[in-house]
Chains A and B, each alone.
Chain A
Amino acid sequence: MNSNIGSMPLRYRITIDREQCMECGRCVENCSYGVFRWDGDRILINSRNCTACHRCLAYCPRDAIMLEEHPCDYRSHPVWSRQVRESIYNQARTGKIILAGMGSVADLPIIFDHLMLDACQVTTPPTDPLREPVELRTYLGKKPSKLEIVRKPDGDIELSTKLTPNLMLETPIMLGHMSYGAISLNAQLAMARAAKETGTYMGTGEGGLHTDLYPYQDRMIVQIASGRFGVNVDYLERGAAIELKLGQGAKPGIGGHLPGEKVSAHVSRTRMIPEGSDAISPAPHHDVYGIEDLPQLVNSVKEATGWKKPVFAKIAAVNNNAENVAAIARSGVDAVAIDGFRGGTGAAPRVFRDHVGIPIEVAIATADKELRKQGLRNEVSLIACGSIRESADVAKAIALGADAVYIGTAALVAMGCRVCGNCYQGVCSWGIATQRPNLVARLDPDVASKQVANLIHAWTLEITELMGAAGINSIESLRGNRDRLRGYMLDEGLLAILDVKSVGA
């Protein structure tokens, strides 16, 4: 039975300036959503299909295309917003959960934007990174809390404390877990090459490791998610580190979802699942039904790989985040990645993406505080992820207590992504969140890897300058140094939780 709701007002309207247009047809070729088509020698437009991916605008040689958002709106109403009304129409028609792509669109204040960084003036001099060393090198993994040192009769000193494996990063910025399946092989290749070039690491996501990525395996953190897609001992042995994905910021409390449209033959082989089938990973790991099960999983993974690799755990930032992190710190895990509620995703139920979880700034601050309180801070490194947008966010996350960050969306944007949020449709016009060969071919891994490497390099330079200005010449001196942050227009309660003073204090 059809609905009586009819069509909704256009979300975007595309127009072509016919005087400018030279009818080259690049828009027709480039749009993967079917907005443009030839009608004889004229280009027709179907604005209803538009996702604002900007592919047509980016490739129109004459700047002849114009995109307008919400050209026709509903009666304005403070409560019954456009989004609320359209969700109801959508669900009234389908009776289903609404899927969405990319990070939260909820219009909530961003704490990072209310934190200001410090700089030195006269009582302490700034350090000039052009002339003096400023160290960004970061080690991720367990650190001893105390050293056992033996002084031998001949006066030599010997360290008897055994160090466990750590990952060495030249910059505290890593590329987060985006699976093959959610994104294309070319996108993964581009990031892998960028990670190698910039001395950092990238996550495989939960989709296994494609054979084409083997040359970069020493720069890969292989992920084990609850679906165990693509996991076998060969996969584990290839990674530089292993990450147990226990949760994701965009959808805390539920498992992953890869629509069957994106499960191509190659994806099916890498994930070890049937072609075209939806890949739904369960909400919990079926061998972790309580915290005491986690050490068993950690130990079995370590045992399988000869205790040579650090094991990370990733969780979504939720109310009892500090408790979760402290529990994980006792499980043998070497680093905990905390994914804030603005974290990205290929596909998540909208209601989770926009309404569940807590901000990464708070999650990192409370985790760091709790770990220190319990004397566990050296047991795990902390990785902040979920909406790290610029170098200042990295510096602020570290000052709040993180050891490093994962970036996801920012890396995709560096490859051309316009954050249109339609990743789950599988027809990404930029060749990133798609498996269609013709679209994937649009993303040249050499070009894209350079762009991602440039981004990491640029942020690294900016962080170096920020640290120098603050008179800090090693990243561990910025870590948890909340004294170098000030809150601007944050309420007293939040300032207390972040343990940051107000501007002027």
Chain B
Amino acid sequence: MCGIFGVMDRRRQMMDGSGIRQALSMMNERGSGEGAGYVAYGIYPEYRDCYALHVFFDRACESRAAVDATLEQWGVIEHDEAIPTCDQPGLRVNCTPWRYFFKPDASLAPGSASPEKDIVTDLVMQINASANGAEVVSSGKNVGIFKASGWPEDVADYYRIEDYEGYIWLAHNRYATASPELWGKPDPFNLHDWSVVENGKITTYGANRRYIESFGYNCSTGTDSEVITYLIDLLVRRHGLDIDLAVRALAPPYWEEIDRMPEAEQRLNRALRFAYGSATMNGPFTIVAANPEMMVGFTDRGKLRPMVVGECGDRLYIASEEAAIRAMEPGIESITRPGAGTPVIGRVAP
């Protein structure tokens, strides 16, 4: 049982991290104080053209040297620095959070439709798979993940989350089941554009991993959200599916429902299940995912985990609990609980 939270401002109005901290800590009953994390979009306007790589170093010196060398082969490091932190009594620090602002050399991925993202994807896989004591935890433009093992308040204060301003925030309050000491493993997970928080545990990890790895993704953390992020990246970026169809491929309608659809719709839904049977996710989950343009929430098709949606002005909220939304927006205008199989998609105004 974990608690997840997402908020998006449709007109890109910035929100600092203090409200998100408050919302996430409202769900401490769903966590165990062994993991919390925040993602924010829009936090690095001065480096908006660079890929911001948030990296955890086991050994600040050796691990950093290895990452520096790899990145320099593939592009230019515009700037790098330690992520500002402030020690908290309740937090046992076991790595050094660092950030790079990196410009990949597109000419090194000739023929690719999205050369920069291909290079960043490969680099993330390469660094995370090798035993260099470095782990890339986020790698998108103008986005960053801040996570650690501890209660949401401690993690937020450690990273001084209130100093960041973003127009989309995702957050995750973890109930640990494995490796509580690891900072990199728990949610949120990010790969360039996409970030994911999950409440639940998919029963199809093995099938989904086998599927996604056949497209060259390398699952190094063994977590659900890693596989989910890669699946969304594959379906949306590489296969060109719209997000609503991608969600339908991941959590498809039952055959019985498909049988009752009009002919053309039947064909489309059957084709989605045919093509993406191995990507179908089963077991209890609520997922909130975001990229710079949108935030999307969806559940498993039996809806075994909660998902509450709130709307207030330009703000869209998706959370495990209504209390979390109200903690951030006491005057919330609408609260709904969409049924199983109904994704919630919010898009930022262009």
**A residues in contact (CB < 8 Å) with B:** 120, 123-125, 127, 132-133, 135, 137, 139, 143-147, 149, 151, 157-159, 161, 163, 166, 372-373, 375, 377-378, 470-474, 476-484
**Known contacts A137-B255, A480-B207, A124 near B283 by CB under 8 Å:** yes
**Per-residue A-contact encoding for B43-81, CB less than 8 Å = 1, 0 else:** 000000000000000000000000000000000000000
User: Could you say which residues of chain A place their CB within 8 Å of the CB of B205?
Assistant: 483
Q: Shortest Cβ distance from B323 into chain A, in angstroms? A: 23
Contact status A147-B207, CB under 8 Å: no
Contact status B210-A473, CB under 8 Å: no
> Which stretch of B151-159, B264-272, B308-316 is in the interface?
B264-272
Q: Which residue of A lies closest to B203 (CB)?
A: A471
**Per-residue A-contact encoding for B191-210, CB less than 8 Å = 1, 0 else:** 00000000011011111011
Contact status A479-B254, CB under 8 Å: no
Q: How far apart are the CA atoms of A146 and B283 in the complex, in Å?
A: 25
Q: Shortest Cβ distance from B123 into chain A, in angstroms? A: 23
Contact status B284-A125, CB under 8 Å: yes
Q: Shortest Cβ distance from A344 into chain B, in angstroms? A: 30
Which residues, 254 to 294 on B, are CB-close (under 8 Å) to A? 254-256, 264, 267-268, 270-275, 277-278, 280-284
**Known contacts A127-B302, A147-B241, A377-B214, A471 near B268 by CB under 8 Å:** no
Q: Shortest Cβ distance from B251 into chain A, in angstroms? A: 10
User: Could you say which residues of chain B place their CB within 8 Å of the CB of A127?
Assistant: 302
**Known contacts A146-B239, A480-B207, A473 near B282 by CB under 8 Å:** yes
B177 at the A/B interface (Cβ < 8 Å)? yes
User: Could you say which residues of chain A place their CB within 8 Å of the CB of B204?
Assistant: 472, 477, 481
User: Could you say which residues of chain A place their CB within 8 Å of the CB of B284?
Assistant: 124-125, 471
User: Could you say which residues of chain B place their CB within 8 Å of the CB of A476?
Assistant: 207, 273, 277-278, 280
**Per-residue A-contact encoding for B204-242, CB less than 8 Å = 1, 0 else:** 111101110010000000000000000000000001111
Q: How far apart are the CA atoms of A482 and B209 in the complex, in Å?
A: 10
B301 at the A/B interface (Cβ < 8 Å)? yes
User: Could you say which residues of chain A place their CB within 8 Å of the CB of B255?
Assistant: 135, 137
Contact status A149-B206, CB under 8 Å: no
Q: Which residue of A lies closest to B240 (CB)?
A: A149
**11 extra interface residue pairs, beta carbon distance < 8 Å, beyond A157-B245, A472-B203, A474-B282:** A124-B201, A125-B304, A127-B302, A163-B267, A372-B210, A372-B211, A372-B214, A473-B282, A477-B203, A483-B207, A483-B209
Contact status B245-A149, CB under 8 Å: yes
Q: List 16 A-B contacts (CB under 8 A).
A: A125-B284, A133-B256, A139-B274, A143-B277, A157-B242, A161-B271, A163-B267, A166-B274, A375-B214, A472-B203, A476-B277, A476-B280, A477-B207, A477-B281, A480-B278, A483-B207
Q: Which residue of A lies closest to B268 (CB)?
A: A159
Contact status B301-A149, CB under 8 Å: no
Contact status B203-A147, CB under 8 Å: no
Contact of B241 among A125, A149, A158, A480 (CB under 8 A): A149
Contact status B206-A483, CB under 8 Å: yes
User: Could you say which residues of chain B place their CB within 8 Å of the CB of A378?
Assistant: 274-275
Q: How far apart are the CA atoms of A159 and B270 in the complex, in Å?
A: 11
**Known contacts A471-B284, A474-B282, A144 near B274 by CB under 8 Å:** yes
Contact status B207-A132, CB under 8 Å: no
**Known contacts A123-B201, A124-B284, A159-B271, A479 near B278 by CB under 8 Å:** yes
Contact status B241-A472, CB under 8 Å: no
Contact of B203 among A143, A166, A482, A484 (CB under 8 A): A484
Q: How far apart are the CA atoms of A318 and B282 in the complex, in Å?
A: 34
Q: Which residue of B lies closest to A401 (CB)?
A: B210
User: Could you say which residues of chain B place their CB within 8 Å of the CB of A143?
Assistant: 274-275, 277
Contact status B271-A144, CB under 8 Å: yes
Q: How far apart are the CA atoms of A151 and B211 in the complex, in Å?
A: 27
**Per-residue A-contact encoding for B76-91, CB less than 8 Å = 1, 0 else:** 0000000000000000
Q: How far apart are the CA atoms of A144 and B278 in the complex, in Å?
A: 12
User: Could you say which residues of chain B place their CB within 8 Å of the CB of A477?
Assistant: 203-204, 207, 280-282
Q: How far apart are the CA atoms of A479 and B268 in the complex, in Å?
A: 22
**Per-residue A-contact encoding for B90-110, CB less than 8 Å = 1, 0 else:** 000000000000000000000
User: Could you say which residues of chain A place their CB within 8 Å of the CB of B272?
Assistant: 147
Q: Which residue of A lies closest to B258 (CB)?
A: A137
Contact status B210-A480, CB under 8 Å: yes
Contact status A147-B239, CB under 8 Å: yes
Q: Shortest Cβ distance from A394 into chain B, in angstroms? A: 17
Q: Which residue of B lies closest to A135 (CB)?
A: B255
User: Could you say which residues of chain B place their CB within 8 Å of the CB of A137?
Assistant: 255
Contact status A373-B283, CB under 8 Å: no
Q: How far apart are the CA atoms of A33 and B254 in the complex, in Å?
A: 53
Q: How far apart are the CA atoms of A99 and B332 in the complex, in Å?
A: 80
User: Could you say which residues of chain A place their CB within 8 Å of the CB of B245?
Assistant: 149, 157
Contact of A470 among B203, B242, B271 (CB under 8 A): B203
Q: Shortest Cβ distance from A451 into chain B, in angstroms? A: 28
User: Could you say which residues of chain B place their CB within 8 Å of the CB of A144?
Assistant: 271, 274-275
User: Could you say which residues of chain B place their CB within 8 Å of the CB of A157?
Assistant: 242, 245, 268
Query: Which of A132, A166, A479 is packed against the most chain B CB atoms within 10 Å?
Result: A479
**Known contacts A143-B277, A146-B275, A473-B302, A120 near B203 by CB under 8 Å:** yes
User: Could you say which residues of chain B place their CB within 8 Å of the CB of A125?
Assistant: 284, 304
Contact status A471-B271, CB under 8 Å: no
User: Could you say which residues of chain A place their CB within 8 Å of the CB of B274?
Assistant: 139, 143-144, 163, 166, 378
Q: How far apart are the CA atoms of A470 and B283 in the complex, in Å?
A: 9
Which residues, 135 to 153 on B, are CB-close (under 8 Å) to A? none
Contact of B207 among A133, A158, A166, A478 (CB under 8 A): A478
Q: How far apart are the CA atoms of A482 and B284 in the complex, in Å?
A: 19
User: Could you say which residues of chain A place their CB within 8 Å of the CB of B270?
Assistant: 163
Rank and list the top 7 A-B pairs by shortest CB-CB distance, nearest first.
A483-B206, A476-B277, A471-B203, A481-B207, A143-B274, A477-B282, A372-B214
